[in-house]
Each structure stands twice: as structure tokens, then as C-alpha cells.
Amino acid sequence: MQLGESFIGEGANAAHINTVFGDREGPVGTAWASALASPSAGHVPFVAVLRPSLPVKPLTLFVTKAAPADDAHGDLIWGPAQAGVAAGVADAVAEGVIAADEVDRTAIIAAVWVNPAATDADAVYHHNREATRTALRNGASGLPALDDVLDARSAPANPFYTAPTKAEEPE
């Protein structure tokens, strides 16, 4: 099983992707089928397609991290974000990150964040494509390196919060 993560872009149109890649006969396949069969309010997993009736390979389950806030947000999820995820998976296969001879026996789960404030369909598409390809590459490479994790532990930061440095921490 390979686990990957990537955050690409800035602001509301950025993409945050988590991927799980593995054999359909193992825990990834079980989780894939269970998630597809267990939608919840606002979170309906679906198979990512490059075009209608043309799912990407390996079959990829698109799981939203944010319930659609309104019709426009739903359109960004189902449209450019889905297209970006599907294209990013196909890019990973074309680049050899996922071997072509593995696509019919493996599966991917992609947990996808589309900000309800996003407005630029092309940016959402491009960021999700790159984030998906990068997350799969990171998973295949075992990234992040443990040294990078340990080096960053004293100053965690993300687009929503930056931890204070030791000098700034309250006593």
C-alpha cells in the first residue's frame, strides 16, 4: 500500500490531495469498495473519469473532503477537480510512477479538497492534476523523508496556520 499527499497552488483554488494506492485484492480494494458502497450526506464517492464512460486506470475513487456548499462548488468538484484527478492518475501511469501492467489489478482512493470559495475552474483543474500526480509519486517514493518530518516538527505550518517559534510560544 502506498500513501501519498500533495498540496498545490495558493488561495481558494489550491488543491490538497491524499492518495491510497494498492492491490484490489488487499486492504486498498476492500476500503475502495466499502467507501463506494457507503456514501454519507454530502460525501458521495464516485469513480473518476476522463470522459463519460471512460474511467481512468487504475480505477480511482474520488472522495470529497468538503461537502458541496452550493451548485457552483459542486460543479467545481464534479467538473474540473474530477478531470484533474483523472488526468493526474493517467499522468502517473504515463510517467511510469504506476506500472502499466498493474493498472487492472490495483486501485486508488483520492481524498480531494475543493475549497467552497474556489472560483477558477482552470486553476482547480490544473492544481488537482498536479497534486494527484505528485501525491502518487510521493507515495511511490516513500516521501516525505523522515529527516524532513523531524526537521519540520519545531515549526509546523500550513495555509491556515503557522505555529509559533520557540521564542514566540507562551510559557
Residues annotated as catalytic are 16
**Cα separations in angstroms, 117 against 40, 41, 63, 68, 76:** 22, 20, 19, 11, 10
What's the gap between Cα 161 and its chain centre? 21
Query: Using CA atoms, how far apart are residues 99 and 141, in angstroms rounded to an integer?
Result: 14
Cell of 3: 500513501
Interacting residues of 74 by C-beta distance below 8 A, sequence separation 6+: 68
Per-residue DSSP letter, 134: H
Per-residue DSSP letter, 165: P
